[in-house]
Structure 1
Amino acid sequence: MIALESVTCRYEGRNRGDENGVDGGGTVAVDDVTLSVSDGEFLVVAGANGSGKTTLVRTFNGLVTPDAGTVSVNGVPVSEDLVAARTAVGMVFQEPRDQLVSATVGGDVAFGPENLGLSHGEIDRRVAVALDAVNMTDREDDRIDSLSGGERERVAIAGALAMEPDHLVCDEPFTWLDEPARESVLARLRELHAKGTGVVVVTHDLRGVLELADRVVGLADGRIVVAGPPHAAAPDLAGLGVRVPEAFDSAGGAGRPTDS
């Protein structure tokens, strides 16, 4: 369980809406958010660029420290045990190159478990299981710089899975992918969720992912303004500058899809 209570995050610089750039405490990126993510839940966090999505999910494992409020994972405050939080909450960044650190696929997936001080046998087991989960078995020796964008995304997911997290958080995982790669990543996330891993997908493009979700929260100006099951939330999501699938127009009565 991930639990946020009255979380607020600010950044230095211009305040939101301050045309003169006067610094009155910095931009509020996340504004008094209370949210819980249950074990095994598939949660979609939706919103336009600048809505606070990335900042919000990076508080889940201490990559961002809130200015106010508390974040806990499995009942333990993140600030008290960063290692436990980052083991329980695996993060896949929007740009895989930001987290791929080794020259080869196997080396990269092994990086996290190695830093936990695990035995060689356990590291090998985790690498094999993680690569199998993203359909990249026997690709350990492939060089990272030879991979396509979709393959790099899958390696990044495998690296997070090798930590055996309770929750896998993917921040805009489809941004650089063509349609076949997008479908491949969606299939992997669907399978992981079916096996019990909690999945959080941060996105402004809900095609293919909305039907997988148990729940959707929509952000605007750092606040949760929409929350609920996909069909109940769909009518209000298009107004947040996100792309809503046409299927939810007809089935759920959602507004017109937008490519914003």
Structure 2
Amino acid sequence: MIDVDGLTVRYGGGGPGAEGDPDSGVVAVDDVSLSLPDGEFVAIAGANGSGKTTLVRTFNGLVDPDEGAVAVNGTPVADDALAARTAVGMVFQDPRDQIVSATVGGDVAFGPENLGLDRAEIDRRVDAALDAVNMRGRGDDRIASLSGGERERVAIAGALAMEPDHLVLDEPFTGLDEPARRSVVARLRDLRADGVGVVVVTHDLRDVLALADRVVGLADGRVAVDAPPERAVADLPGLDVRVPAAFEAGQDPSPGRTEPP
């Protein structure tokens, strides 16, 4: 469970404990409260600059709030960032920002190695994570040889190897061609079926709206929509968020993209 209570984040101001006016600066997240239960597939949607990325980066302590708090499984992130980062796996918008090894297997093993696990457990986690993203047997592949979609899957595997309760993906489809997008959607569908909590941050819901249990729409750092997809979809275009044509027409599309990019 991720609990967000009265969260406010500012950029460019004094900030807590800093010199200057702590209330100055640009408000990126403005008094947001929400709960994300285990096993739920949540789409956090909004236009660029709406506060989506800043919000999810508070879930595991990558961004500290100016006001309010985030707790993961009942423990405040401020009290135990390591526990939060273990429970909340993060996949950045550009996988190059988190890939740290020259090979697929080495990169996926990096997180478990830093937990101090024994070799047998690390190998088990790496194998399971690569299976989950359909990359079994590719641990020796060089990262430099991979396509964009394959790098995205390696980044997802690296997060899964930490065995998180929630997997957060920030704009996971940016720059991917159609086959790669379908492959990532398929992996997310499998994770949802396995009971992993999935949070997808996006301005374009055409790939994932049919998978989502819930949509949280942000505008100017505030929650403007929080509802199941069939109820949320009417308000999302007003937030500059793209939705599948079939949802706009009141139909029930199968998971994945329903119209060309």
TM normalised by structure 1 equals: 0.92
Q: 1:96 maps to what in 2?
A: 95
Q: 1:235 maps to what in 2?
A: 234
Q: 1:220 maps to what in 2?
A: 219
Q: 1:202 maps to what in 2?
A: 201
Runs of 4+ in 1 over 2 A off after TM superposition: none
Q: 2:109 maps to what in 1?
A: 110
TM-superposed CA distance for 1:252, in Å, is: 6.1
The answer on whether the counterparts of 1:47 and 1:53 sit within 8 Å (CA) in structure 2 is: yes
Query: Which moves more between the two structures, 235-244 or 125-134?
Result: 235-244
Cα displacement string for residues 127-186 of structure 1 (whole angstroms, at most 9, x for unaligned residues): 000000000000000000100000000000000000000000000000010111001000
Q: Which residue identity lines up with residue 203 of structure 1 in the other structure?
A: T
Q: 1:8 maps to what in 2?
A: 8
After the TM superposition, which residues 1-260 of structure 1 pair with which residues of structure 2 at under 5 Å, given as runs? Answer: 1-12=1-12, 25-251=24-250
Structure-2 separation of matches of 1:163 and 1:8 = 28
TM-superposed CA distance for 1:24, in Å, is: 6.8
Cα displacement string for residues 25-62 of structure 1 (whole angstroms, at most 9, x for unaligned residues): 10000000001000000000000000000000000010
Structure-2 separation of matches of 1:160 and 1:208 = 21
Q: 2:18 maps to what in 1?
A: none
TM-superposed CA distance for 1:242, in Å, is: 1.2
Structure-1 separation of matches of 2:23 and 2:209 = 38
Q: Which residue identity lines up with residue 10 of structure 2 in the other structure?
A: R
Structure-1 separation of matches of 2:3 and 2:133 = 28
Q: Which residue identity lines up with residue 70 of structure 1 in the other structure?
A: A
What secondary structure is seen at the aligned counterpart in 1 of 2:10?
strand
TM-superposed CA distance for 1:208, in Å, is: 2.2
TM normalised by structure 2 equals: 0.92
Specify whether residues 54 and 191 from structure 1 end up closer, same or farther in structure 2 by C-alpha distance, changes over 3 A only. same
Structure-2 separation of matches of 1:60 and 1:24 = 22
Structure-1 separation of matches of 2:45 and 2:206 = 12
What secondary structure is seen at the aligned counterpart in 1 of 2:249?
helix
Q: Which residue identity lines up with residue 238 of structure 1 in the other structure?
A: P
Structure-1 separation of matches of 2:63 and 2:185 = 27
Structure-2 separation of matches of 1:240 and 1:181 = 27
Structure-2 separation of matches of 1:224 and 1:142 = 42
Structure-2 separation of matches of 1:219 and 1:156 = 26
Q: Which residue identity lines up with residue 64 of structure 1 in the other structure?
A: V
Structure-1 separation of matches of 2:136 and 2:251 = 39
RMSD over aligned Cα, in angstroms?
Answer: 1.6
Structure-2 separation of matches of 1:224 and 1:46 = 10
Structure-2 separation of matches of 1:237 and 1:100 = 33
Structure-1 separation of matches of 2:126 and 2:78 = 29
Q: Which residue identity lines up with residue 81 of structure 1 in the other structure?
A: D
The answer on whether the counterparts of 1:232 and 1:252 sit within 8 Å (CA) in structure 2 is: no
TM-superposed CA distance for 1:67, in Å, is: 0.3
Runs of 5+ unmatched residues, structure 2: 14-21, 253-259
Taking every aligned residue pair, what percent have the same amino acid on both sides?
74
TM-superposed CA distance for 1:251, in Å, is: 1.3
